[in-house]
Chain A
């Protein structure tokens, strides 16, 4: 046993040595990494939807700058925004944009910030796999199902389209505290945070997957990653926004349709917001740039959809302007 372990170490050491030799042979390209002179704490909190991307970035940033301590919380977009607007954290993960009352709070506390989209998520409308009648749905029909006025009145499938069966419709969706709910209601009902209340709500998308996959008369919505991982148990419904300028007819969510914007209106960007005081610190600048450089690859790895490369470039420029501005103001003070 001991021998085995020793051998294992030897092999590892040999590989490491070989690797180092190889890399040093390549020249200066690797010296860019390992910023061991950077140090400090970066505090991040917010959306649990964005969390997997930020966790992945923070994990890899550990190799980039081992002395910077990055911590990530999951108190939700709303909770994170509140802390961010009070200046308690450096970066907030958000699955929606900052709303007016949060902006006002930030202004009261003299917090200026920059908003950076980091990936897309495609909210997916799903039904039970044995559901053979729904093959597409329009945004107007979704609105008819989900708007507040539908409560207690729209209860059967054939009320939406006459040819659909005369059966009860069972609805599953995100809990009202989540950014997902805010986005869905904004996109479908036309007003953020307004929907019927008589549906099965959960903040945990796996619960919704469970619900829809065991109920033949179910209709639900949740993030694309949860559909992607459970394709054998669910059927995604193509959504028609009746606007042919961004793709004709009903469109299924996929890597391509979300990325090119044709899966509308249910593709949503995910954001990070950076506080200007934080943006004047070198370790935060390094982290945010690292984030934007790697969000595409890491985001896809954890189940989200990357934005086009030029958008990341734009965001990097936007952040550079912002952080140099932030530097100027802190120097003035």
Chain B
């Protein structure tokens, strides 16, 4: 065997390995989706989406749960987006590299690894008790915002870093101020990456049950929230509650609720991909 044949063989082997790696995740996801779909699809109908929780599995619905999840999503996005992107811009564009910013950076990276229930405990003390928000949507959204801020900050910084130095230099050369450069050049160019980070982190937030249970999100709520100060429940709590019931029929309900939760997540991701593609088309250097 010649050297080039050997290399070609290695190349082929690595390609097969790569395909294998790609598929392992996809296959597991497919099996999971298939399993849930078989169990849950028959359960989803208009009544399921518009009914209140009930002790009878066949009459129970997820109206208050999905309404709560949507509220939480929107509020969390509104709170976390400006804070996270602002912090990212500061750290990347304005701050000087010194020991203090190093310290900040390390801590933000560490925060991304803190278990979510710890954020729940923090939220309980600060938002629920000190700020007297009670177990409200606002307290829940603030808690989840804290949870996802580190991810947003890190991805924002990465996206800003990816904007070429020459774009900034060009902007400055034309007499633009720092703020004008950031606002008119850097942010639009990095917006796709920032958006991806926000959507990924919101997808994480939408699946959280533990921190919300800690701050006092409920399981049985017979009304849909009307203001951010109302009490609430979310889909993951309803799912968690149903899967721990002894009766088999509640497991089917849980599968149905999981499908709805997945649909919400997919919808979000879809919107993000659409916005990102549209944004990227606009950028021409």
Contact = CB atoms under 8 A, between A and B. Distances in A.
Interface of A: 45, 48, 51-52, 54-56, 58-59, 62, 69-75, 79, 83, 203-206, 223, 225-226, 228-230, 298, 301-303
A48 B216 CA distance: 14
B223 A228 contact: no
Nearest to A76: B213
Given A56-B55, A229-B248, A204 B216 contact: no
A54 B244 CA distance: 16
Interface of B: 52-55, 135, 213-214, 216-223, 231, 237, 241, 243-248
B-side binding surface: helix, strand, loop or mixed? Answer: loop
Contacts of A228: 246
A235 to B, nearest CB: 17
A205 B244 contact: yes
A73 B244 contact: no
Contact of B243 (A74, A206, A225): A206
Nearest 10 CB-CB pairings of A with B: A72-B220, A56-B55, A225-B246, A229-B246, A73-B218, A226-B246, A74-B219, A204-B244, A71-B218, A55-B220
Contact of B221 (A48, A71, A230): A71
A306 B75 CA distance: 43
A59 B243 contact: no
Given A48-B244, A52-B245, A205-B244, A59 B219 contact: no
B225 to A, nearest CB: 11
Contacts of A70: 220, 222
A230 B217 CA distance: 31
17 contacts: A45-B216, A55-B53, A55-B220, A59-B222, A62-B222, A70-B220, A70-B222, A73-B135, A73-B220, A74-B237, A204-B243, A205-B246, A206-B243, A206-B246, A226-B246, A298-B55, A303-B246
A230 B220 CA distance: 26
A48 B243 CA distance: 12
A275 B149 CA distance: 39
Nearest to B53: A55
A295 B213 CA distance: 26
A71 B53 CA distance: 11
